[in-house]
Every structure is written in structure tokens, then in C-alpha cells.
């Protein structure tokens, strides 16, 4: 192995930023590296270099767990979503590199650069998880499933915050429905949760269980002034102690007064909206209807009768003329035939 190759192999081991990762915890990554070792490198790398290059690649990927602990960037654990994002990115990069068909020194150089980029991407992913998704509960106790990068074990991490999540003020009108929602956005991400329990709180530290079940809401139909007061919602866990406690202060307002109005047609409503927008009265100017006056009705009927009489008169005149002309034509034909017969008799 020449000095240039030794330099490239050394760069492969030391080019990556210090990072601690979990990629080798995923079986797909292990299978991709095995395929690289048994199928790709035997035909794209000299036999005497194959083993050393592959060992360096495995060692580099395995050392993804080498990132200093920090509350803002990494605490040695990640969730399944971050793991999936990092694994898919790594597999895609390996596939692109092998599909290119590069070999020997070019392969070592390109694969080293690819691993550098993937480790940087992994570091960004875990830092984003630490900021946004690690123990996202602002109150209560969350049991968050996490993967420990040091041993690849998936365990529940207890995110402990104050149980009391405050008081929510709810106003509802009499004769309307009251809905109390006890679900927080991280409840669906947590494991080990049991039932929601709603209590009606009375004076002197006494309370009555109103509902218990999987639904996070309490609905009271057609409330009355007697429903006003304090309610408490508690979400249980498989462990001791509740996950969250939320209080609701319900105020029942007087019944709404709804004025009854005549429904307007869609055409009238559209015209009214247009008038409001442009400030112009679009109502058509309505002239007095002729049909509303009896005199106009009689006058129209008389005019129609005269028109029909005139038409009948014209039709009769035309018919008479036609018959008159027809009679003259018949006489003319008869006289012509008579003349011809007389001439024939003289002959």
C-alpha cells in the first residue's frame, strides 16, 4: 500500500466530526454495510486493501456515538422519528455512491466525503430533536419512548414536570352544550397513559366523579345555571401518580336571544350584498303593471280581436281572388277546346 493510499485511509477514519450516533442500531444499516463488504468491494477494490478499508468504514460508522453530552444538542438518546430520518439519509447516500461504480482511491475519497456529510446531517437531526422533541411536555409527566445510542435499547424515559397544568376558563350560554377538553398535544406521543377522569368539584374539598374513560372530553348538553362551577380533569398513568391535572372554571351565561327574521331569497341577498359593497341601489324601477288595470286588459283584448278580424278579411279577399282567377281560366280553356272542335268539323 503506497503512502497516498495510506493517507486516504487515514483520512477516512479522521475526517468526521466528533459525533455519537445510533445508526448501527438499525438492522438496515448493518445489512447495507455487509452488502458493501461482500458484493461491491470485491469487484471495486484490490484484495489487499479491501479488508482494511471495510474495517475503517465499520469503525467510523460505529463511532457515531462519540458526541459530547449537552442539554442543547445531545443527551445520548433519540426518538424513533430522528432515527428513521438519519438511517434513510445514510442508506440513500450509500446507494448513490455504489451506483456510481467508482473504485479504488476514488471510492475511498468519495465515501469519506459522503460519511462526513452524513455525520453532519446526523448531528443536526439529533440537535433538532433535543431542542424540539425531547420531553415536549410543559407540565405533567410524560413517558417518552427513546433509543439509547450506547446500547441500542428502547426504553421509556420519564419526563417529569409539575402535575398541575393550570386553570381554563370556559363560558357557555344557558341551553347550549358545554365541552371540556382535557387533551394536550403531547398526550398522543406518550406511552403508559390510562383513562381521563372528570370530577365536579364542590366546596370543602369534596368532588364527584362525572366521567372516566379514554375520551379526553366531557360534554354536557343543554347546560343550566346549576352546571356552573369548578371541574377537574386527571389523566392517569400505569405508574403511580397522574400524568396531568387540569382545572376548568365554568361560567353559565344567560340564554342567547335570537331575533326571528324573514328569510330572504338568494337573489335578494346577493343584490343586497352588492348594494352594500358599491353603495348603489340596484333595485329595478318598477312601472305600474298594465295587467293590474281592468281597462288595460279590455283594451288589449279589443285590439287583438280587431287584428284577428283584419287577418280573416285579408284571407277571404285572397281566397276570392284566387277563385275568380280560377273561373276565368276554366272558361278560357273551355272556349279554346270549343274552337278547336268547330275547326275540326269544318275540315
Q: What is the pLDDT of residue 287?
A: 47
Using an 8 Å Cβ cutoff, are 225 and 250 in contact?
no
**DSSP-derived 3-state class of residue 252:** strand
Helix (H) or strand (E) holding 146: strand 141-148
Q: What is the pLDDT along the chain (347 residues), one digit of tens a residue?
A: 433 333 234 334 434 434 345 888 999 999 999 999 999 999 999 999 999 999 999 888 887 767 777 777 888 889 999 999 999 999 999 999 999 999 999 999 999 999 989 988 888 999 999 999 999 999 999 999 999 988 889 999 999 999 899 999 999 999 999 999 999 999 999 999 999 999 999 987 899 999 999 999 999 999 999 999 999 999 999 887 899 999 999 999 999 988 766 565 555 556 666 556 555 555 555 444 444 456 676 777 788 888 888 888 888 887 877 777 766 666 666 665 555 555 555 54
Q: How far apart are CA 41 and CA 44, in angstroms?
A: 5
Which residues lie across from 164 on neighbouring strands?
245
CA angle centred on 213, ends 208 and 214, rounded to 5°: 145
Q: How far apart are CA 156 and CA 191, in angstroms?
A: 8
What burial letters (b/e) apply to 121-144, b meaning 16+ CB within 10 Å?
Answer: ebbebbbebbeebbbebebbbbbb
Using an 8 Å Cβ cutoff, are 46 and 104 in contact?
yes
Q: What's the length of the chain?
A: 347
Other CB atoms within 10 Å distance of the CB of residue 281: 9
135 φ/ψ sector (left φ>0, alpha ψ -120 to 50, else beta): left
Q: What is the pLDDT of residue 216?
A: 96
Q: What is the pLDDT of residue 249?
A: 97
Residue 197 φ then ψ, to 5°: -125, 125
| C-alpha cell, 222 | 343543554
Which residue do the cell numbers 371541574 mark?
231
Q: What is the pLDDT of residue 220?
A: 95
Q: Locate CATH 2.60.40.10 in the chain.
A: 157-253
Beta strands 164-173; 244-253: pairing state: parallel
End-to-end alpha-carbon separation of the chain, Å?
147
What is the topology classification, in CATH, of domain 157-253?
A: Immunoglobulin-like (2.60.40)
Sign of CA dihedral 122, 128, 129, 130: positive
Confidence (pTM)? 0.60
Amino acid at each position: 500500500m503506497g503512502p497516498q493510499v495510506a493517507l486516504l485511509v487515514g483520512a477516512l477514519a479522521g475526517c468526521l466530526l466528533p459525533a455519537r450516533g445510533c445508526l448501527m442500531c438499525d438492522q438496515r444499516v448493518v445489512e447495507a454495510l455487509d452488502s458493501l463488504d461482500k458484493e461491491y468491494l470485491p469487484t471495486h477494490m484490490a484484495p489487499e486493501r479491501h479488508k482494511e478499508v471495510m474495517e475503517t468504514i465499520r469503525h467510523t460508522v460505529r463511532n457515531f456515538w462519540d458526541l459530547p453530552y449537552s442539554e442543547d444538542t445531545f443527551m445520548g438518546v433519540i426518538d424513533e422519528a430522528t432515527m428513521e430520518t438519519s438511517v434513510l439519509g445514510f442508506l440513500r447516500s450509500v446507494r448513490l455512491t455504489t451506483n456510481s461504480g467508482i473504485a479504488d482511491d476514488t471510492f475511498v475519497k468519495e465515501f469519506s466525503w459522503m460519511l462526513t456529510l452524513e455525520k453532519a446531517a446526523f448531528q443536526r437531526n439529533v440537535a433538532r430533536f433535543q431542542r424540539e422533541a425531547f420531553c415536549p411536555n410543559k407540565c405533567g409527566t410524560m413517558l417518552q419512548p427513546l433509543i439509547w445510542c450506547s446500547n441500542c435499547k428502547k426504553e421509556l424515559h420519564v419526563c417529569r414536570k409539575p402535575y398541575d397544568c393550570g386553570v381554563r376558563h370556559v363560558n357557555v350560554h344557558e341551553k347550549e352544550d358545554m365541552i371540556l377538553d382535557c387533551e394536550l398535544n403531547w398526550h398522543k406521543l406518550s406511552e403508559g397513559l390510562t383513562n381521563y377522569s372528570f370530577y365536579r368539584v364542590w366546596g370543602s374539598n369534596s368532588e364527584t366523579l362525572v366521567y372516566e374513560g379514554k375520551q379526553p372530553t366531557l360534554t354536557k348538553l343543554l347546560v343550566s345555571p346549576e352546571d356552573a362551577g369548578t371541574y377537574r380533569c386527571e389523566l392517569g398513568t400505569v405508574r403511580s401518580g397522574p400524568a396531568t391535572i387540569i382545572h376548568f372554571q365554568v361560567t353559565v351565561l344567560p340564554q342567547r336571544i335570537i331575533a326571528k327574521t324573514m328569510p330572504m331569497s338568494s337573489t335578494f341577498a346577493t343584490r343586497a350584498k352588492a348594494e352594500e359593497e358599491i353603495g348603489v341601489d340596484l333595485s329595478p324601477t318598477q312601472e305600474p303593471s298594465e295587467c293590474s288595470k281592468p281597462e288595460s286588459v279590455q283594451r288589449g283584448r279589443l285590439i287583438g280581436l280587431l287584428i284577428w278580424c283584419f287577418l280573416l278579411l285579408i284571407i277571404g279577399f285572397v281566397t276570392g281572388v284566387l277563385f275568380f282567377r280560377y273561373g276565368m281560366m276554366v272558361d278560357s280553356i273551355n272556349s279554346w277546346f270549343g274552337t278547336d272542335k268547330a275547326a275540326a268539323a269544318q275540315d
